[in-house]
Amino acid sequence: MEKTIVVALGGNAILEKDPTYEAQKAAVERTAKLLVRLVEKGYKVIITHGNGPQVGNLLLQQIAGDSDKTPALPLDSLGAMTQGSIGYWLSNSLAKYLHRAGIHKDVVPVVTQTVVDRNDRAFSRPTKPIGPFYTEEEVDILNLQNPMFVYREDSGRGWRRVVPSPRPVRILEIEGIKSLIDAGQIVIAAGGGGVPVVEQDDELVGVEAVIDKDFTAAKLAEQVHADEFLILTSVGNVYLDFGKPTQREITHIDANALNKLIAKKQFAEGSMLPKVTAAKEFVENVPDGKAIITYLDGLEDFIEHGAGTVITRWPESVPAK
Ligand SMILES: Nc1ncnc2c1ncn2[C@@H]1O[C@H](COP(=O)(O)OP(=O)(O)O)[C@@H](O)[C@H]1O
Ligand SMILES: NC(=O)OP(=O)(O)O
């Protein structure tokens, strides 16, 4: 039977350094070519992606306009816009490589809403980095220009604006996504974690936030009962003592052991912590599932040799070395 896989694409799958359209499309082309290998291998594929750099850049473009003639749209609408643009880039490139591989499947990007809790404490504590990186000196100037914006240092890589990032509660379009997968289509869903909405009487209302795509991806993988949840990022493995002389890679780990490492603060908040937490939550909710964290360039190695850091619910389901 075909396996179902949810693939969460990290930042470098779409934007490496250059934020121009040409550079992002070139990165997406490369990503799409690699992803087609999963389809060739017989997987049912659901793709989700980040939008942190893109939504932040779009916000800056909006603010730069004439506030009367072209008023800035709110963050939830910008999230939907990035789902549209990135979904289009990915489906356009995937269609090309599927055609070249002789595979006749549609790629369907779904504008996805994710219900969040209006009382989530994240709304009063912004943590999600979006947009470009700044130096500390640039942040001093930006703070004078707009004291309402909050900036934080992002994992030793520079300063970025941060916005609230509530936890996903429910993916609104989940039944539609399942139907598309059952019909044999390739689905792109919950980009940027999904557009955050809160329940208000009988309505869903968009809110100013950006959900972490790894958390929504875990929920998506759980709700489609995926066999595998693959997080593609910029490192081949999760490491112990990351960046220290004692650094060593984790090849296989079970949820309880991972929990202990999380408690010991082995994983950086804002980069690896959401990924290992999402992987752990997936295997806790889908005990026969497997989560894998590796890098895009290692995709072929994952397909052929099972490379990457594998996370399973129980130690006995950890494959022998
Ligand atoms: N323990 C760890 N093991 C591996 N990478 C880690 C660890 N702690 C922090 N990192 C960092 O996390 C980064 C991945 O997070 P990030 O770049 O935010 O993800 P994304 O690929 O979704 O954009 C890695 O490139 C690495 O620098
Ligand atoms: N929404 C989100 O998590 O985006 P990034 O992965 O690009 O930060």
Q: Residue 269's pLDDT is what? A: 81
Q: Residue 317's pLDDT is what? A: 64
Q: What is the DSSP letter of 317?
A: G
pLDDT reading at 321 higher than 90: no
Give SS3 for 117. coil
pLDDT reading at 214 higher than 80: yes
For atom 6 of ligand 2, the residue with the nearest CA is 50
Ligand 1 centre distance from Cα of residue 231 (Å): 11
Average pLDDT in the chain: 95
Residue 39, phi-psi category: left (phi > 0), alpha (psi -120 to 50), beta (remainder): alpha
The residue-averaged pLDDT of 56-75 equals: 94
Confidence band for 229, pLDDT divided at 50, 70 and 90: very high
The residue-averaged pLDDT of 20-43 equals: 96
Look-up of token digits 């520079």: 158
pLDDT reading at 76 higher than 70: yes
Contact of 196 with 153, CB cutoff 8 Å? no
First to last CA, the chain: 26
Name residue 119's beta-bridge partners.
Answer: none
pLDDT reading at 320 higher than 60: no
ipTM over 0.90 threshold: yes
Fold of 3-116+167-312: Carbamate kinase (3.40.1160)
pLDDT reading at 319 higher than 60: no
Confidence band for 268, pLDDT divided at 50, 70 and 90: confident
Distance CA 166, CA 189 (A): 18
For atom 10 of ligand 1, the residue with the nearest CA is 272
Q: Tell me where in the chain the CATH 3.40.1160.10 domain(s) lie.
A: 3-116+167-312
Give pLDDT tens digits for 233-265.
999 999 999 989 999 999 999 999 999 999 999
**CB-based burial label for 49 (10 Å; 0-12, 13-18, 19+):** buried
Q: What is the DSSP letter of 3?
A: P
Residues recognised as catalytic: 11-12, 128, 213, 275
Ligand 2 atom closest to Cα of 211? 1
Confidence band for 22, pLDDT divided at 50, 70 and 90: very high
Percent above pLDDT 70 for the chain? 98
Look-up of token digits 């594998």: 310
Distance CA 151, CA 160 (A): 5
Distance CA 207, CA 76 (A): 6
